[in-house]
Amino acid sequence: ILGSAVDKSWFPGFTEYQHACREVAESFDAAFIPYQKIFDQALKSAPGKYWAPDGVHPSIAGAKLMSEAWLKTVQD
């Protein structure tokens, strides 16, 4: 999410970290929650500052999105 702490220069490298995290989770048969995808979808209903004011740390609404995704993942 773009915000006061995040600009577009983050994303080429950050995308590589996302892929690496998924691969590590798969190699350990661990859950992987695609938070970026979840926040990208959420941006269709409210601006980034609603979900994470600085683009990094989630607001209460952002934390709720994350917790719901985590619960869904571990309950499935």
This prediction has a pTM of: 0.83
74: left (phi over 0), alpha (psi -120 to 50) or beta: alpha
Which pLDDT score, from 0 to 100, does residue 76 have? 75
For residue 2, pLDDT beyond 90: no
For the chain, what are the domain ranges? 8-75
What's residue 29's pLDDT? 96
- 6-39 pLDDT, tens digit each: 777 877 788 888 899 999 999 999 999 999 999 9
